[in-house]
A and B are shown apart, each in its own frame.
Chain A
Amino acid sequence: MSAQATPHEIKSLRDVIPFLRNELKPKGKILTPFNIISVPVMLLGAVLIAYRMVMGLGSITNLSQEFPWGMWIGFDVMTGVAFAGGAYVLTFVVYILRIEKYHPIIRATVLNGFLAYVFYAGALVIDLGRPWHIFNPVIGNKFGLSSVLFLVAWHFLLYMTAEFIEISPAFAEWLGWKRVRKILSSMTLGAVVFGITLSTLHQSGLGALFMMAKGKIHPLWYTQFIPILFFVSSIFAGLSLVIFEGSISHKVFSDQLNDEHRASHHDILIGLAKGCAGAMFAYFFLKVLIFMHGRHWEYLHTGWGLWYLVEIIGLVLIPCYLFLRGAMYKNLTAIRIAAIMTMVGIIVNRLNYSVIAFKWYIPLPAHYVPHWMEIVTTLAIVFAEIWVFRWIVNRMPILRKPPAWATEE
């Protein structure tokens, strides 16, 4: 497989079809361990989704009247969107602050963010009881203007559009559409500004969804500042995922990279680690302030207090320190470990709000625990996203340099 795709230009519509047919063919080895694991999971996931559409949500989930939201909201949507936050943070750094150092990873990050929204927010469709009404808030079959979810739904839609515009020059370069590319790239800055604004609001909006669950979420987690906490944590959630994903992509797609990109990779990771450490310290500080104001000392002695400390010390403060140390001593292993710990911390945090500390007063046998079929469906969605990501990276200038004609201007 050649990284530098043969120069081509599609002049007429007749050229498009053979080109696409050629591109649809698999590239690279077929029987890789990843494929062998992911294909059966995706097939099983598809069967489960079809089954759920016929038999209802209760058929493959452990959702109940007490626990209307489970893993598909708590993990797929809440956590998936937080992890997609890297796109708005890095577009801010690269297109607004114009720090060129991070330019080599911007396309992969935006693509990842875009696909995360398509797949994880798209996973909402299988969680909705009446998914055929999903466009009601858009087409105006009643606008629920006082609903936080109305805002989040619109922002998902608009933000997906903004991210698509941001990534679209890569599609145009792939198809060889010079004029289209010119138009699309002129829209990038506008899309970035719009995208950052939307992200600020819907990242915090996801937290604001829980404001009306007062009394159902454990007092150590429920605070009026949930929206701000969700926003700040999405910054380092997103950056940690960029570090994690970048480290993997760097190995898996190494044929896509040129020497210049390879050389700058370490420097980029160290910069991201510093960013993470800063955001995490701010977040930790906020958490401490909120704890002090909440005066919830009495809960610290309970099991919930311990779980709370695990989250904010074990999975925020310690990885924050590891990031800082890793950046100081240029220790990439420490940075990668910190990124994984941070990601676990975000998963724990989002699940605490939606599932674990939600109705904490209902003890375990009756408390929601995901059904194995919910987990398989989630895995299938994650794998499907990785497949599409890989397909695009192998064909379009995402990690590799854009074709010469695109950079000439």
Chain B
Amino acid sequence: MDRRKFLKSLGTGMLGAAGTALTAGRPRAAEMVGNSGKEFKGVLVDTTRCIGCQSCEEACAVAHDLPVPDDIGDESVFGQQRDTSTTQLTVVNRYETEKGEIFVKKQCMHCAQPGCVAACLVKAMQKRVDGPVTWNANCMGCRYCMVSCPFDIPKFEYNSWNPKIVKCDLCWERLQEGEIPACVEACPTETLLFGKRRDLVEEARSRIYREPAKYVNHIYGEYDVGGTSWIYLSAVPFEQIGFKTDLGTVAYPEYSTGFLYSVPIVLILWPAFLMGLSYLTRREEEKEE
């Protein structure tokens, strides 16, 4: 048992709630490498190439045993903005912009340091070593992951007695078998590119350098919320195609670390302080008598 593991289990056993986040490691954002040392994989989405054929939606439904939408290839679905749902892990939306129609695929961003994973009190949400953020059935259904996700991705089955949290899992099972995500495989226009995240950022940069007039000089997800496994290229500023651009570059778990770090301090100082105070008041009482 190494020291970190020992400290972790000691903290768990003794104090349970002592906020042992102190010993919990986190990925180094700049390198996009998890604790395992393995590099995260991800997908580069070049929105300038998407034609809105919805092949990815269909492939996704098939890969996850979900009902295949019967409106695949039907233009009318783009009439309104769609959101992912408990039966659709990815959707393509159309945006009217200064450079014409742009189609944007939406799914879980698979953050390098996900808010949902930090939120989960039973580690049902997990950041896997090769990048995917997945959900497990030991979940208790508290929905704190939904509150903590900057992109509102986790969806909850409100009409089931045995509900699940549903979201894109980057085809984690396929990845383990050496395959690539179903949506990437299905894409006919190479809008989607699967690979090591570091390589994807390189590729995205070189596309911008090669055609600076075609792209805005911003790779969405490179730094946003501390970096995401899915990154996007666009011809127009990202706020025009439905992206939140005000999320900042701080990874979401960082927002609660300040509180978590103060927990062991309070847990040690308060009892000592209170016992001391109690001792003082007792002595005075005795003197009076």
B138 CB-CB contact with A under 8 Å: yes
**Interface-centre pick from A137, A200, A204 (highest chain B CB count, 10 A):** A137
Give the interface segment out of A152-160, A271-279, A378-386. A152-160
Closest CB in chain A relative to B256 CB, distance in Å: 4
Give the interface segment out of A9-17, A36-44, A52-60, A284-292. A52-60
| In the complex with contacts A57-B158, A197-B266, A128-B140 CB distance below 8 A | yes
B160 close to A69 (CB less than 8 A): no
Q: CB-nearest residue of chain A relative to B150?
A: A215
* Residue in contact with B281 in the complex, picked from A96, A129, A200, A204, CB distance below 8 Å: A96
Q: B119: which A residues are within 8 A, CB to CB?
A: 147-149, 212
Cα distance, A205 to B267, chains bound together (Å): 13
B152 close to A213 (CB less than 8 A): no
B204 CB-CB contact with A under 8 Å: no
Please tell me the number of chain B residues within 8 Å of chain A, measured between CB atoms. 66
Cα distance, A137 to B247, chains bound together (Å): 30
A137 close to B278 (CB less than 8 A): no
* Residue in contact with B156 in the complex, picked from A68, A141, A145, CB distance below 8 Å: A68
Give the interface segment out of A168-176, A188-196, A303-311, A314-322. A188-196
B142 CB-CB contact with A under 8 Å: yes
Q: B24: which A residues are within 8 A, CB to CB?
A: 145-146
Cα distance, A138 to B122, chains bound together (Å): 9
B237 CB-CB contact with A under 8 Å: no
Cα distance, A155 to B266, chains bound together (Å): 13
Q: CB-nearest residue of chain B relative to A193?
A: B274
Cα distance, A96 to B285, chains bound together (Å): 12
Give the interface segment out of B12-20, B181-189, B215-223. B12-20
A253 CB-CB contact with B under 8 Å: no
Closest CB in chain B relative to A217 CB, distance in Å: 10
Please tell me the number of chain A residues within 8 Å of chain B, measured between CB atoms. 68
* Residue in contact with B160 in the complex, picked from A56, A95, A97, A192, CB distance below 8 Å: A56
A151 close to B161 (CB less than 8 A): no
A151 close to B19 (CB less than 8 A): yes
Cα distance, A144 to B255, chains bound together (Å): 16
**Chain A binding surface SS class:** helix
| In the complex with contacts A129-B156, A149-B119, A214-B252, A55-B161 CB distance below 8 A | yes
B148 CB-CB contact with A under 8 Å: yes
A201 CB-CB contact with B under 8 Å: yes
Cα distance, A98 to B289, chains bound together (Å): 14
Q: Within B6-64, which residues are at the interface with A (CB < 8 Å)?
A: 8, 11-12, 16-17, 19-21, 23-24, 26
A299 CB-CB contact with B under 8 Å: no
A63 close to B255 (CB less than 8 A): no
Give the interface segment out of B92-100, B226-234, B257-265. B257-265
Q: CB-nearest residue of chain B relative to A100?
A: B285
B207 CB-CB contact with A under 8 Å: no
| In the complex with contacts A145-B11, A145-B24, A193-B271, A96-B277 CB distance below 8 A | yes
Q: Within A1-51, which residues are at the interface with B (CB < 8 Å)?
A: none
B163 close to A57 (CB less than 8 A): yes
A130 close to B266 (CB less than 8 A): no
Q: B1: which A residues are within 8 A, CB to CB?
A: none
A147 close to B270 (CB less than 8 A): no
Contact with B along A367-381 (1 / 0, CB 8 A): 000000000000000
Q: Within A56-79, which residues are at the interface with B (CB < 8 Å)?
A: 56-59, 61, 63-66, 68-69
B275 CB-CB contact with A under 8 Å: yes
A363 CB-CB contact with B under 8 Å: no
B122 close to A197 (CB less than 8 A): no
B118 CB-CB contact with A under 8 Å: yes
Q: A220: which B residues are within 8 A, CB to CB?
A: none
Cα distance, A210 to B119, chains bound together (Å): 10
B196 CB-CB contact with A under 8 Å: no
B161 close to A53 (CB less than 8 A): yes
Contact with A along B237-269 (1 / 0, CB 8 A): 000000010111000110110111001001100
B205 CB-CB contact with A under 8 Å: no
Known contacts A197-B267, A200-B266; 14 further A-B pairs (Cβ under 8 A):
A56-B161, A57-B163, A98-B282, A129-B156, A133-B122, A145-B23, A149-B121, A150-B121, A151-B263, A154-B17, A194-B271, A208-B259, A212-B255, A214-B150
Q: Which chain B residues have a beta carbon within 8 Å of chain A's beta carbons?
A: 8, 11-12, 16-17, 19-21, 23-24, 26, 83, 85, 115, 117-124, 138-144, 146-148, 150, 152, 155-163, 244, 246-248, 252-253, 255-256, 258-260, 263, 266-267, 270-271, 274-275, 277-278, 281-282, 285
Q: Which chain A residues have a beta carbon within 8 Å of chain B's beta carbons?
A: 53-59, 61, 63-66, 68-69, 92, 95-98, 124, 127-131, 133-134, 136-138, 140-155, 158, 189, 192-194, 196-197, 200-201, 204-205, 208-216, 224, 227
6 pairs of residues in contact across A and B, judged by CB atoms under 8 Å = A56-B157, A133-B140, A148-B260, A209-B147, A211-B258, A224-B255
